Amino acid sequence: MSEHYRLKTLPAWPRHVLLDDRLAPVRHQQINPQYRLVTLHAPELARAARPGQFLMVTAWDLSSRQLTVLPRPMAVSAADADSGLVDFVYRIIGRGTRLMAAEAETISAAGPLGRGYDLPGAGHVLMLGRGVGMPSLAFAANRLVAAGVDVCLIASSRDAESSLAVTEVVGNALDSTVRVLDSDGTSDPLLLESRLCRRFDAVPPATILVCGSRRLTNLAVRLSQRWNIPVQVSVEQKMACGMGYCHGCVLDARPDCDGDLVCLQGPVFAASATAPEVVQPRPNPPEAHSVDCAHARVV
Ligand SMILES: Cc1cc2nc3c(=O)[nH]c(=O)nc-3n(C[C@H](O)[C@H](O)[C@H](O)COP(=O)(O)OP(=O)(O)OC[C@H]3O[C@@H](n4cnc5c(N)ncnc54)[C@H](O)[C@@H]3O)c2cc1C
Ligand code: FES
């Protein structure tokens, strides 16, 4: 998938990193065939975390009393200052997440890390998420819904089984969530574009947030040109330290990126178009697949 957008650093956030070295998960449960949800009691982290930020997490191997692997970046999917609880949701990919699933009796978590989303205080926010990008958007969506801001969260996934549009993740924002699937064709970006144009052309959203898919980022940037609104995209990158030391997460070698680090200047960046894309939205999306976030229903 070619990219038709460039990324730009947003103004930095102040950083105050906390390390909780011996956290026993309050909850560690499978929420669908691919994803697990972990809840930690970490009051300082819960107070400090903002949507779009992430934790560097790893599990202790209690038999050898060692941290099993380098920590892995995981977006905060919920944080509640009153209860002191912080959630993240992970998909088992390789060694680190396999060990997390097997040995997560005691977790080490550092955070909150990175620069997250700028959330508007009013208007409508359109969010496009897929796969491991969903947890960070779910946190933003729940904060916005709680503040009375209208949200339309498009949750894209391969099929219903792998969708993260579940109560445990999207919570309050469930009423604003529209699920689209590869298995029934509803996630097709051109079809989605037509549906979103029909829904928002009259009154466009204030901003678009994207996480988890380059195809969706391309779509968001096309829509942002059409509606003349900003896009913020959370970028996924391999990370060894997550704190700006190893320089393993340089965003891109492109001249306009100037060696930005995803863990430090990101993971959220502003996205804008490099060149117009020659694609036309599908003209007549079926009525049954309309996007109606005001009276949201799963399609
Ligand atoms: C900001 C951000 C937020 C994310 N949020 C989520 C989320 O909410 N849920 C989710 O499921 N996933 C999330 N991811 C992706 C998640 O971090 C990866 O899926 C996870 O790291 C995979 O780890 P693994 O060990 O299972 O996979 P592997 O592919 O086996 O491990 C690869 C990772 O291991 C690390 N690594 C191992 N050895 C080295 C080494 N020698 N040098 C450098 N790096 C090394 C790197 O971090 C690399 O990315 C996020 C990623 C980012 C950047
Ligand atoms: S992961 Fe080490 S500098 Fe970003």
- The CATH number of residue 154's host domain is 3.40.50.80
Predicted confidence at residue 298, as pLDDT, reads: 33
Expressed in angstroms and rounded, the spacing between residue 7 Cα and the centre of ligand 2 is 18
Which atom of ligand 1 approaches the CA of 134 most closely?
8
Q: Is the pLDDT of residue 195 over 90?
A: yes
pLDDT value at position 59?
Answer: 86
Of 4-8, 55-59, 115-119, 234-238, which gets the smallest average pLDDT? 4-8
Enclosing domain of residue 284? 5-10+116-289
Q: What is the arithmetic mean of pLDDT over 35-61?
A: 94
Pocket of ligand 1 (CB under 6 A): 54, 70, 72-75, 88-91, 93-97, 132, 135, 236-240, 248, 267
Same domain as 91, residue 175: no
> Is pLDDT above 80 for 2?
no
Check residue 297 and give its pLDDT.
38
> Is residue 92 domain-shared with residue 124, that is, in the same domain?
no
Q: How would residue 284 be classed by pLDDT, with cut points 50, 70 and 90?
A: low
Both structure tokens of 89:
């949701």
As separate numbers, helices (DSSP H) first and strands (DSSP E) second, the chain gives 6, 16
Asked if the structure places residue 267 within a domain, the reply is yes
Q: In this structure, are 82 and 125 located in the same domain?
A: no
Chain segment 175-189, per-residue pLDDT in tens: 899 999 999 999 999
Query: CA–CA separation, 198 vs 291, rounded Å?
Result: 8
131 CA → ligand 1 middle, Å: 14
Q: How many domains does the chain have?
A: 2
On whether both 200 and 109 belong to a single domain, the answer is no
Based on the fold, state whether residues 101 and 124 are members of the same structural domain: no
Ligand 2-lining residues (CB < 6 angstroms): 239-242, 244-249, 261, 263
Q: Are both 105 and 122 inside the same structural domain?
A: no
Same domain, 132 and 101: no
The DSSP secondary structure of 107-121, one letter per residue, reads EEEEEEESB-PPPPS
Specify if 232 maps to a domain. Answer: yes
Non-local CB neighbours of 90 within 8 Å, separated by 6+ positions? 35, 36, 38, 72, 74, 97, 100, 132
Residue 295 lies in a domain: no
Nearest-atom index, ligand 2, CA of 241? 2
The closest alpha carbon to 239, from 50, 40, 95, 74, belongs to 74
Q: What CATH number is given to the structural domain containing 64? A: 2.40.30.10
> 85 and 133 share a domain?
no
Q: Ligand 2 centre and the CA of 175: distance in Å?
A: 36
One domain, residues 141 and 264: yes
Establish if 299 belongs to a structural domain: no
Comparing 92 with 281, which gets the higher pLDDT? Answer: 92
Residues 78 and 191 in one domain: no
Supply the Cα-derived Rg of the chain in whole angstroms. Answer: 19
* Domain assignment present for 212: yes
Q: What is the pTM of this model?
A: 0.90
Percent share of the chain, pLDDT over 90: 68
SS3 37: strand
pLDDT for res 78: 97
pLDDT at 121 > cutoff 90: yes
* 251 — pLDDT class (breaks 50, 70, 90): confident
Specify the ligand 2 atom closest to the Cα of 238: 1
The dihedral sign for the CA sequence 84, 47, 119, 38? negative
Residue 207 lies in a domain: yes
- pLDDT at 129 exceeding the cut of 80: yes
pLDDT for 12 beyond 50 = yes
Mean pLDDT of the chain: 88
pLDDT at 294: 47
Instruction: Quote the ligand 1 centre to 72 CA distance (angstroms).
Output: 5
C-alpha neighbours within 13 Å on the C-beta side of residue 236: 17
- Residue 298 belongs to some domain of the structure: no
pLDDT at position 120: 95
With a pLDDT cut of 70, the percent of the chain lying above it is 86
Which of 71, 94, 113 is a domain's end point? 113
Among residues 70, 85, 113, which one ends one of the domains? 113
Give the ligand 2 atom nearest the CA of 247. 3
pLDDT surpassing 80 at residue 221: yes
Q: Are residues 50 and 192 in the same domain?
A: no
Last residue of a domain, one of 94, 113, 132: 113
Q: Is residue 278 part of a domain?
A: yes
- Quick one: pLDDT at residue 63? 66
* 93 and 131 in a common domain: no
Selection from 21-30, 179-188, 253-262, 286-295 with the highest mean pLDDT: 179-188
CA 232 to centroid of ligand 1, rounded, Å: 21
Distance 90 CA to ligand 2 centre (A): 20
Q: How confident is the model at residue 128 (pLDDT cuts 50, 70, 90)?
A: very high
**What is the number of the ligand closest to the CA of 87?**
1
